[in-house]
Amino acid sequence: MEFVVEEGKLVNEDCSTLVLPALSIGNVGQLAVDLLVSSTGAERVGYLDDPNLLPCVGNDAYGPLPCGEIALPLEVYESSSIATTLAQQRSPVAKGMMIKFAENIANFAASSGKKHIIVLSSLDFQRLHNLDMSRGPQVYYLSNAESDGRDDHCERLGFGRLHEYDSEGRCWKYLSSVFEKNSVEELALPSEDELEDIDYYPSLPFAALFSAFKARGLKMTCLLCYCSEGDNIPEAFLLAEASSKLMGLTPDKFHGEGGKWQIPYSWKSMYGAPPDMSMF
């Protein structure tokens, strides 16, 4: 993975927090990062070029007008006012290459001096066994602060620990062994037939990213929410707000009009063209 600085831009080495999405149901992590980039006025400083990422290009996703600024598959933005780097991923990872991709991006984060990584991801609502709607939509977390995934700061913020995380579970152990270079234990990749329900969580991209960053010794927090496919804008707001709280920020500290969340321009056409009314 190569980091290419955009012509005329400088990287701010004080941006020690990296926020990035994990591919997940409803693209919630990516929508949340869109919202953060748009609302913080973060500026694009470069691109990450990785051979495991499928190609895509588009017009600028954030400006009020489609100004023709090219958008690439994996872009790096910085907001100096909140000392945060945001990476936005617009295309999938090639099938079977997620582990390699996670390793590459963890190497990038470590070599560029990042201290805290926040990964935003969604989980399939159909996998949620204990539904408790009394507290409203719930944000869950997974941290490497303690071996069971617990983190005091996240607990104080009211996030729910992901109880399905089991560091001794075979798939979680497999991920750890893959990324830790000094791992003595050689574990086999679980075959598709052997996978059970509990293996759903470590099979997801956020788990690969979590394990890869953890192996590099970086402080790591995954923020998660359950959702179904559909209009996932509410979930994007949920995760964007949660990550802001985790960083000790509120929208009034963002750059922007009145300190409010700014909807990215590209969201206007997220669900395609309006129906053809001429048929009625």
Partner 1 sequence: MEDVLTENPPPSRFFQEDLNNFVPPPESIPSPFILFSNPKPELPLRPSLLIIAISSPSLYVSHNLPSKTLLGSLIMPEVPFSGNTIEPSLEDKSCNIYSLSSTDDKNSILLVSVQLPVSPERSNLVSRLLIGQDIIPERVIILDSIQSRNFRGRLSPDETLAAKLETSAEKKATSHLVNLDYFPSGSVIDGLSASLLSRCQLKNIRGTLVISWPEFGPSVIKFIGALLKKIVPSLDVASVNKDLEKNSSRTGLKKDTWLDSDLYT
Would you mind telling me the total number of residues written for the chain in this entry? 280
Residues 71, 59: Cα–Cα separation, whole Å: 6
Cα distance between residue 145 and residue 46, in whole Å: 30
> How many CB atoms lie under 10 A from the CB of residue 65?
8
What does the block give as tokens for 81? Answer: 């006012």
208 is a site residue for partner 1 (CB under 8 A): yes
Residues 125 and 129: their CA atoms lie apart, in Å, by 9
Contact pick of 13, 55, 133, 185 for partner 1 (by CB under 8 A): 55
Q: Is 4 in the site for partner 1 (CB under 8 A)?
A: yes
Question: Residue 81 in 3-state DSSP?
Answer: helix
Is 189 a binder of partner 1 (CB under 8 A)? yes
Query: Does residue 279 interact with partner 1 by CB under 8 A?
Result: no
**Mask 220-239, x = binds partner 1 (CB under 8 A)?**
---------x----------
Render 173-237 in DSSP notation, one character per residue. Answer: HHHHHHH-TT-----PPPPGGG--GGGHHHHSHHHHHHHHHHHTT-EEEEEEEEE-SS--HHHHH
For residue 256, the 8-state DSSP code is: S
Q: Which is nearer to partner 1, 76 or 247 (CB)?
A: 76
The yes or no reply on residue 63 touching partner 1 (CB under 8 A) is yes
Using the rule CB under 8 A, is 207 a contact of partner 1?
A: yes
Determine the residue type at 56.
C
Q: How far is the CB of 124 from partner 1 (least distance, A)?
A: 9
Q: Of 157 and 233, which has the nearer Cβ to partner 1?
A: 233
| Contact flag: residue 142 with partner 1 (CB under 8 A) | no
Binding residue for partner 1, selected from 41, 169, 190, 256, defined by CB under 8 A: 190
Q: Is 88 in the site for partner 1 (CB under 8 A)?
A: no
Interaction site with partner 1 (CB under 8 A): 4, 6-7, 23-25, 27, 47, 49, 51, 54-61, 63, 66-70, 72-73, 90-92, 94-100, 171, 175, 189-190, 192, 195, 199, 202-205, 207-208, 229, 265-270, 272-273, 276
